[in-house]
Amino acid sequence: MKVLLLYPEFPETFWSFKHALKFVHRKVSLPPLGLLTVAAMLPAAWSKRLVDVNIRRLQASDLAWAEVVFISAMIAQRDSARELIARAHAAGKTVVAGGPLFSAEQEQFPEVDHFVLNEAEVTLPRFLHDWEQGTPQRIYTSTEFPDLHQTPVPLWGLADLKRYASMSIQFSRGCPFDCEFCNITALFGHRPRMKSPAQIVAELEGLYQAGWHRQVFFVDDNFIGNKRYLKEELLPVLSAWRQAHPSITFFTEASINLADDAELMGAMVQAGFDTVFIGIETPDEAGLAECNKGQNQHRNLIADIKRIQNSGLQVQGGFIVGFDSDTASIFQRQIDFIQKSGIVTAMVGMLSAPPGTKLYARLKREGRLAGPSTGNNSDGTTNVVPRMGIEKLRAGYGRILQHIYAPGPYYKRVRTFLREYHPPKIPSNMSWRNCSAFLRSTFRLGIIGRERFQYWGLLVWTFFRCPRLLPLAVTLAIYGHHFRRTSASVHA
């Protein structure tokens, strides 16, 4: 059996880093981890080919080679997925679909022959059994949250690793919290389920042997969902593994209560973590209560962020405007908070209601849904009818983006962060690609860019104040270029 695995194109988004990747000659931020894992679950005798259309176009020869097409997608990839499915269907291929997009909108894809939904560890074996028997059903679903100890190592050999900026692995699924706007618990449950340290080392070793010696993203829903397991099991093993692989660093997603555990932060840094994304959402207590973000309530969020930064972890943050409790003051309050926090990579989006969330169900009852979600929480759109009025929300949202990504405030925020950031060691990574990125940045940002004075000011300041952080300062300057280009299309 010849299986073509298709990964649809992502639109330009905050997290695509499209404009930043040009500086390092990379095409895409991350590989299609789900598809590569599914590929490892398919029979070993089957021939497999991956086409990530974020890297290259789907060719007619790819479809001619295939006997069956597997496609997986996020909601943001909806348009590209529809186009790819239409091409596969027109070529007479059997189409099998799975992933968040199809779990939420399967009725919108009548050309798909079979849906293998929810977690593949449960539903894919059932499909494969029926397929071998010649009696495959159209839809396979499950409410079971499987043990991850049998999840195989992804088939990294199918991916063109040199085209990606980072790699990704998954240690756990599930989150103990229950934010109203998030569909994670609906998809993966409240109880974090973990892989064994041996599995994680096997995945990392597979990447390393395939030639990957750089950054790896732990794509967990909440990496610190089981702190004890991290401290006693994973992090000691990860620290030991990195002694022989010091060029690899890690970043992940976690909740703000990470700031309460100095031991855990220290262990993460020791194991090689240097960045963590945290959903801050809003500095407004009423907004946090409204969305059931209890873990963020009644805290000094700025102080929490500073503690995490001081530990040696860069904080990337997610922010939301458009809660029912938001007033006109929220836009300036978000700007002030972001600037004071030193969160350089600050993703701000308008509140959106993905299918499967409690927010979606509530707004549907209230008659306040305005079509489907785009799945892109930074594109200046929302499927929520906001209390404050959509025009007021859009104007305030645009004002936030115009301010926080403008060269003056942005570079000032970089300095605020660098003052607080105290990593124990900055690994040397002077590859030709990084040197090329620096040279490109000096021309694009330091000579012809409107931020050229801020760019050179930051580099001089960093050289004298914290010279070992100079490569990071250049990286953040390049990020700022991407954020400005992306946000310009939102408030144009």
The phi, psi pair for 155, rounded to 5°, reads -85, 80
| Residue 158 counted as domain residue | no
DSSP state for residue 67 in the 8-state scheme: S
Contact, 309 vs 342, CB < 8 A?
Answer: yes
Rounded-to-integer distance, Cα 130 and Cα 128, Å: 5
**Residue 58 belongs to a domain:** yes
Residue 437 lies in a domain: yes
Are 245 and 360 contained in the same domain? Answer: yes
Q: Identify the pLDDT of residue 379.
A: 81
For each of the chain's 492 residues, which pLDDT tens digit applies?
999 999 999 998 888 899 999 998 899 999 999 999 999 999 999 999 999 999 999 999 999 999 999 999 999 999 999 999 999 999 999 999 999 999 999 999 999 999 999 999 999 999 999 999 999 999 999 999 999 999 999 999 999 999 999 999 999 999 999 999 998 888 899 899 999 999 999 999 999 999 999 999 999 989 999 999 999 999 999 999 999 999 999 999 999 999 999 999 999 999 999 999 999 999 999 999 999 999 999 999 999 999 999 999 999 999 999 999 999 999 999 999 999 999 999 999 999 999 999 999 999 999 999 989 888 877 889 999 999 999 999 999 999 999 999 999 999 999 999 999 999 875 555 555 678 788 889 989 999 999 999 999 999 999 999 999 999 999 999 999 999 999 886 654
- Where are any strands of DSSP class E within 53-206? 68-72, 94-98, 114-116, 139-140, 167-169, 172-173, 193-194
pLDDT of residue 433: 64
Q: What is the pLDDT of residue 377?
A: 72
Domain end call among 105, 140, 175 = 140
Based on the fold, state whether residues 207 and 250 are members of the same structural domain: yes
Residues 112 and 35 in one domain: yes
Q: Do residue 369 and residue 256 come from a single domain?
A: yes
Same domain (yes/no): 88, 191: no
Q: Are residues 358 and 452 in the same domain?
A: no
- Other CB atoms within a 10 A radius of the CB of residue 227 amount to 16
Structural domain contains residue 419:
no
The answer to whether residue 152 is domain-embedded is no
Same domain, 447 and 383: no
Residue with tokens 């409107």: 450
Same domain for 133 and 200, yes or no, is no
With vertex at residue 458, the alpha carbon angle to CA 454 and CA 461, rounded to the nearest 5 degrees, is 135
Secondary structure (H, E, C), 254-266: ECHHHHHCHHHHH
DSSP H helical ranges for 94-172: 100-105, 120-133
Q: How far is Cα 245 from Cα 149, in angstroms, rounded to an integer?
A: 24
In a domain? residue 199: yes
pLDDT of residue 117: 97
Burial annotation 113-136 (CB, 10 A radius, 16+ → b, else e):
bbbbbbbbbbbbeebbeebeeeeb
Instruction: Please check whether residue 409 lies inside any domain of the structure.
Output: no
Whether 238 and 322 map to the same domain: the answer is yes
For residue 231, give the CATH number of its domain: 3.20.20.70
Which CATH number fits the domain that encloses residue 116?
A: 3.40.50.280
Paired residues of 115 in beta bridges: 97, 139
Question: In terms of domains, do 28 and 66 share one?
Answer: yes
| 8 A C-beta contact, residue 276 and residue 313 | yes
Residue type, 334: Q
Pair 329, 454 in one domain: no
Tell me the C-alpha distance between 302 and 276, whole Å.
Answer: 15
Position 9 in a domain: yes
- 387 vs 270: CA distance, rounded Å: 46
Domain extent at residue 472: 432-490
Q: Any residues with CB less than 8 A from the CB of 255 and at least 6 apart, and which?
A: 177, 222, 224, 278, 279, 295
Are both 211 and 101 inside the same structural domain? no
pLDDT number for residue 427: 56
Q: Looking at the 3D structure of the chain, how many domains does it have?
A: 3
